[in-house]
Amino acid sequence: MMTGFRYKDSDTAIHRLNPFCKLLWMANILLFALIFNNPVYLLALFLATLPLVAAARLGKEWLSVMKLTLYLGIAIVLINMLVSYHGTHILFEAPFRLPVAGVPTITLEAAFFGAAMSLRLALIISAFAVINFTVHPDDLLLAMIKMKLPYKSVLVTSLSTRFIPALVEDAQCLSDVQRSRGLELDRGSLGQKIRSRMAIVIPLLSNSLDRTVQLAEAMESRAFGSGRKRTFYKPIRFAGRDVLALTVGFLAAALGIFMRLWGYGDYQYYPTLGGIGAGALEWSLLGLVVLLLLSGVFLAVGRSEAGLD
Amino acid sequence: MIKIENLTFWYEDAATPAVREVSLEIEDGEFVLITGPSGGGKSTLCRCLNGLIPHFYGGRITGRVEVNGLDITRHSTPELAAKVGMIFQDPENQLVAVDAEREIAFGMENLAFPGELIAKRMEESLDTLGISAIRHRRMQELSGGEKQKVVIASVLALHPGILVLDEPTSELDPGSAEEVLTAVGRLNDELGLTVILVEHRLDRVAQHADRLIVLSKGAVIADGSPRSVLGGDKISDTGVGLPPIISLARRLRERGIGSGETPLTVKEGRMALGKVFQSRFGLSRGGSAPAAPPEPPNHHPLIEIKKLWHAYPGGRVALRDINLSLYEGEFIAVMGRNASGKTTLVKHINGLLKPTKGDVTVGGINTREATIAELARKVGFVFQNPNDHLFADTVEEEIAFTLKNFGFNGKEAAARVDEMLERFNLGEYRKHYPRSLSGGEKQRVALASVMAAHPRILILDEPTRGMEYRLKRELMEFLGDYRRHGGAVILVTHDVETVAEHADRVLLLSEGRLVVCGSRREVLSGALLFSPQINRLVQAFEGYGVPGDILTADEVLEMLG
């Protein structure tokens, strides 16, 4: 998991896409996932992430992430059924009464609410997966710099994420070393366990500190901190299409917010499930949001200059 | 040109200077090799050349260092970066970007080069180091040698006139090390870059260098052509390891045999020794027959590995059908390329890994049925980096920690701690913080902490990588003593010369299979590049009746009588 869920290099239109278009797309999905409750909306948006998954040839990676999400979803449904006693359609009723909470019941509404929340989660994870697998970490860094975040802070963030795999490896090695010296990590009381973990944590910290000093030396030796305004080898370029795509992406956001303010996209789960039925106008508007969302990405595909590669 | 006048430098809070009264002049285009014992001031001197000292480290500096006329105390490291390129030991700790191209661009971006210039220099440096095939690869996927070459390319792109490399190969396997050193040699030869290289492995680079400087205790002990320094008298007192060919030539000279020249390469050695062998042996085929392989002792083996397979989670098969027995007092070397399964194999012996199929029995116990802690009483495991062993506040506590894990307390534990302190000569450091000791002392503390449990089997995973000669010798002396007391040693290593001198048996692993397992003579002699230097030398004289399985200088001398 640690190493599986990260950028995957391949040469697809989605990978080559201007990172801002992709980031805006993800921001839109996050926004919609938060403001809309209606399961039809959530499903439509979830399906709208699939064209990107296909275009980026992420089938295998996406499926493995979704498998985990499915387990998580099942857990959410079960837990919600067990702890939420609201709802009128009772599927099961316990023969006893709990103090404060009342009689434990399992209701259709609670199951349905759990499923809708799982769908919302799947939508967010699917969008994150696309971004994670297709935006080069260095492009993400450049994008952040372009958004006027200070270079040094952005670089530190990126370096620390790069250090994580090294840290995990180091911790594994240190645990091997100390276990070879007879240390039993899982024996004794909590206090003893914490103390035995120190045999790993202390060298881990010292090693990381050494590593950091060495990296700092190496960076200064390569003129980091020269005081000049940095240039970038592969700056993010904006072609006309990118600007168009971004505009369309913002339009999608505006339309979605407008719909929510107008009262669309809400749904009643408790005490009884509300009806899905809505007017043709609402469905057309939802279709338009999805269309704009996808256009915000696919309009930028295929720009010939491929500024990023 | 580099001008150093009377340089003395103290690190913050240090009582003694790290370099003292060093004066040197290095001409443009020179290839200078710097060697010497650890703590001798090599790295300190390097850091003075691009201003890391004093700007990064603080401390107190007297004397003068001028690089191309620039005083390093007045110009910062980033300013000097375009004049002096600096490359460090561990490529891992020099990387900032995710892929090779962006790594190379990093320095140029810092100096605000315009895009076109970056693009041009990018191509140039990729080609110079011959790494254009990996330009789009992620740094994490590259081998150590490739990473180090990318770092060199990124430094080179700034067009420094001077390249300083501080032990650039000590974290690499021999193949990668050779590649990096060859690339450095070319930069000096073809592009005329001034190269200042700190290295322990003199056999690989001495022939490329114009000048060899030996630093010890912060002072310049010897300075001259590699031939004169390595053949001279001063070097023997410093504990610098001589390549086997040179040490053979020196010892022959002491006995008045041969021409007395100092050969730097195997070829030169062959030329120099050819006459000696010719006159001694003529063309008569009179050499001794190769020694018979040692017979396996007939008592029970300490370790028995039967049909061992191992697959990591995710399915990568790391070991395939390994069969092996190890006896009391034996010294086995485990060799093979990176990722051939060496470490995976030895981790089965103390239970860190359990077999996927097959059995590993240690002292009659099947490792499947024992915990690591139980096996650790029988099997000591020393890891490559002594730092990884050390975490306690004092040396004493570090050793006591292992004993406490095994349930020793009170008097018995105290007695064993004392025993270890004495055996490893650590008495005076009893109350010191282990991680602040020198490299050799740390190694001894790590060993002591493992040996306190009195294991009968000792596994060492690449302990000699990047280790200087004196420490290697100390370690080998200890291992010899340990074996004489019945202990068995398993050494994972790339170091052919050490194996040639000490191992009884050599295992060669490739892609998880045990390719060869035999006496060191069988395995190490007659191979092309895998053989130790002396063996490569004598192979040419088999026609004169010189046995083709000679591995060390000692054996040559013994044969010559």
Residue contact A214–B372, C-beta within 8 A: no
Nearest residue of A to residue B53, measured between CA atoms: A217
pLDDT of B168 strictly over 90: yes
Q: Which residues pair with B84 in a beta bridge?
A: B162
Helix (H) or strand (E) holding B146: helix B144-156
Residue contact B50–A221, C-beta within 8 A: yes
Give A126's pLDDT tier (boundaries 50, 70, 90): very high
Tell which of A1, A160, A173, A177 to mutate to test the B interface (max B CBs under 10 Å): A177
d(CA B444, CA B438): 10
- Residue type present at position B287: G
Higher pLDDT residue, B404 or A277? B404
* pLDDT, average across residues B460-473: 84
Position B292 scores a pLDDT of 52
- C-alpha B26, offset from chain centre: 27
Q: Could you tell me if B196 and B49 are in contact, meaning their C-beta atoms sit under 8 angstroms apart?
A: yes
Position B357 scores a pLDDT of 95
A109: phi > 0 → left, psi -120 to 50 → alpha, else beta; which?
alpha
Nearest residue of A to residue B98, measured between CA atoms: A138
pTM summary value: 0.83
Q: For all residues of chain B together, what is the average pLDDT?
A: 90
Residue contact A176–B110, C-beta within 8 A: no
Q: Which residues of A touch B110 (CB under 8 A)?
A: 222-226, 228, 230
| pLDDT tens, residue by residue, B412-427 | 999 999 999 999 989 9
pLDDT of A179 strictly over 60: yes
Higher pLDDT residue, A71 or B276? A71
Tell which of B80, B84, B96 to mutate to test the A interface (max A CBs under 10 Å): B96
Position A275 scores a pLDDT of 82
* pLDDT, average across residues B510-532: 85
Q: Which residues of B touch A199 (CB under 8 A)?
A: 391, 401
Enter the tokens of residue B387.
């730092």
Residue contact B376–A180, C-beta within 8 A: yes
Determine the number of helices (DSSP H) and then strands (DSSP E) in chain B: 21, 20
Nearest residue of A to residue B448, measured between CA atoms: A181
pLDDT of A1 strictly over 70: no
State the residue for tokens 């840290």. A167
Enter the tokens of residue B535.
């063996």
Q: For all residues of chain A together, what is the average pLDDT?
A: 86
Give A102's pLDDT tier (boundaries 50, 70, 90): confident
